[in-house]
Structure 1
Amino acid sequence: MERAGLTGGIGSGKTRVAALFAELGVPVLDADRVTRELQEPGQPLHGAIVEHFGPGVLDPRGHLDRRALAARVFADPTEREALEAIVHPRVHREIHARLERGDTDAPYALIVVPLLFEAGWEDDFVRVITVECTPEEQIERVTRRDDRTREEVAAIMERQLGANERRRRADVWIDNRDTVDDRQLRAQVLTIDRELRSLTSDG
């Protein structure tokens, strides 16, 4: 099965776009969700993170305190690189394993990877799609969705690849600005799905 990658900055609308692909019968795997599952207590990734960063990144129940871990790695680029070196290869292997185990005749699967380019995964995919909106829309959406301040969201955005660079490196981009209505968003997804089905068909 071929794979298409979906990326985009925080608050850009990756979850919504992935859901539209799923409605078309496309298997979807979310790298963030896989990461959270692998970080549960008792999982090897959980142990590897605690071994490197210490018990200070755990909450009272023994689960990872993601806020505490994020604050630590954002403050120290070396620690961020260490976390990425621990997490990315394990998540990469798990995604490939799940695709191999999958029982589907779909022509392609969609893998949602927020840090796709930063992780160096672009060569895994027959097409890379990025979802984009304006920076102000990203901030507004995330502050409404999450318990974060504008400053916190802006700091996360600073550490992600910029929209212009994502669009330059992606094969196609989806416009998800607030001026784009649901019908227009669906039309963009349908066009890309048709292209991918044609590209990956045996005939």
Structure 2
Amino acid sequence: MGFKAGVVTFPGSNCDRDMAVAIETVSGQPAVRIWHGDADLPEGLDFIALPGGFSYGDYLRSGAMAARSPVLRAVVNAAERGVPVLGVCNGFQVLTESGLLPGALMRNAGQTFVCRTVDLEVANTSSPFTRGFEQGQVLRIPVAHHDGNYFADDATLDTLEGESRVAFRYGEDVNGSQRGIAGVLSANGRVLGMMPHPERAIEPASHPTLGGSDGRALFENVISSLVAA
């Protein structure tokens, strides 16, 4: 089976190349680059990624303006058809602002930018992104954000917990996120938003600058789920 993935670039994205390189490294297929002003997506996409960065300079709220980009209408339609969509960091913020995921990402509780590798606990093993993990497995994944404090009302949080839609939790209080939530799934499990950067952890631990491969499995999980389908 061929694998065709697309990476959306917004003005201010700065992790789009990292995401594209990660996808090609894991899948062996180059990612299609998609501009935010495109009204339509390329045909035949199996997977869509919204990368990190500071789309539109984070004016208004992080991800708010990107969520109104022409391409987002096409992304929402694709997600509703069941195409897996991954939003990382700013991409997670775009997914909440677009309504594809519940909640919001607020300023970190410590009011400072956090940039380091953290422990990430797997809380769901049934989605296309997490099916290859074990419940409670701990991953080491980098974070780099200033507005990663996940917030939702108690009813929404209870729903996420009850429907097993919390994908990942922080192993420590990184940014004040409610219930330690680091990643959230859509109701159909095919849209994932997460603040940590799996695309920055796809090389062997001996790599001199990246130094970790725990994020690689997330991309492998998506590809294997599509093959199995």
| TM-score range normalised by the length of the shorter chain | 0.3 to 0.5
Greater radius of gyration (CA): 1
Structure with larger RCO (C-alpha < 8 A, sep 6+)? 1
TM-score, with length taken from structure 2? 0.33
Bigger helix fraction:
1
Bigger strand fraction:
2
TM-score, with length taken from structure 1? 0.36
